[in-house]
A = this chain, B = another copy of it.
């Protein structure tokens, strides 16, 4: 059976990389996959192209070359697809950062249709309350959200499995932000803080406005998703959040003014670094959830770590997560270290979630020498 895919956010960085990977990595090849992929729709913020028999190359190119299009709502899109009366072999992909409209869309798809969703967008998982989160996340095969937290690791599925196995999570600790990981690593060099942030932004590591990263909001959203996946009934406002830099710097909305405004912090970070270095310490920006006490303990904010500790040794954009349960206790926790997101890694893991939604998946061994 063919696996149909409708990609929303197809003109963004992850969306374009995803389309490229689907066509170049063999996903559409019926000789490689028992359930080959067929792209039936592409949508940007302003328009969408859709063909139930698969978008022709011409239609794809047309969509990508169109500079602007007619406006549409996600509801129009769902109606267009629904009236084909198709079965459940369709999955939507959300690689946007759309808020409320997308929240409603995810809920409509899961509750009112037989289709699946794969999302890298954190909003539909964090803007809703716990019960609505569970309504989405409990559908193991239909709702894939591994790319919302540490796309390169298997943290979400690992936690879902532990819940189902009756081995409840006792604590989660880790560095979930490739951006803040990169900044903290660079703080160990002589480079001034404002230059580090500028470079991270130029390399495309930060959100469009770096305040979203430096405030810790992005990390807090990820911790909320992990906590809820572990079955902990919490909301965003229950997460104590300490930004990497003082609050007054974060309130500047104009990005250029914001970037220039970081210079006064250079001297402070540099003298801090020298003091820490002398003691074998480094700055990291971890998030933590502990369920050992009577109420869930959560914290997102900078910490001082030994240079040779698990988090202190993290380099560059690598992410790390340490999960403890009854079976995986403090002596032998489950630890996953993986590349922090990036276009290629995120797109690859969107495809991994799509594979999860395939019925009767077989592994496509190709020629037996390991190079596919």
Contacts and interface: CB of A to CB of B under 8 A. Distances in A.
A367 B232 CA distance: 9
A236 interface: no
A166 interface: yes
A317 B333 CA distance: 11
A289 to B, nearest CB: 9
Contact of A369 (B153, B232, B317): B232
A351 B165 CA distance: 7
A291 B369 CA distance: 9
Interface stretch (A53-61, A213-221, A270-278, A336-344): A336-344
A154 interface: yes
Given A328-B338, A338-B334, A372 B231 contact: yes
Chain copies in the assembled complex: 2
A79 interface: no
Task: Provide the main secondary structure of the chain A interface.
Answer: loop
A332 B169 CA distance: 26
A370 B328 CA distance: 16
B328 A152 contact: yes
A365 B163 contact: yes
A327 B355 contact: no
Contact of A134 (B164, B338, B340, B365): B365
Contacts of A140: 361-363
Contacts of A337: 333-337
A86 interface: no
Contacts of A338: 328, 332, 334-335
A64 B35 CA distance: 44
Interface in A126-160: 130, 134, 137-141, 152-154, 157-158, 160
Contacts of A230: 370
Nearest to A160: B363
B362 A138 contact: yes
27 contacts: A25-B165, A26-B166, A33-B164, A134-B365, A137-B363, A137-B365, A138-B362, A138-B365, A141-B361, A161-B352, A164-B361, A164-B363, A165-B348, A165-B351, A168-B370, A230-B370, A231-B366, A232-B368, A232-B370, A233-B370, A317-B332, A327-B339, A327-B345, A328-B339, A328-B345, A333-B337, A334-B339
5 tightest A-B CB contacts, nearest first: A25-B166, A332-B339, A233-B368, A335-B337, A232-B370
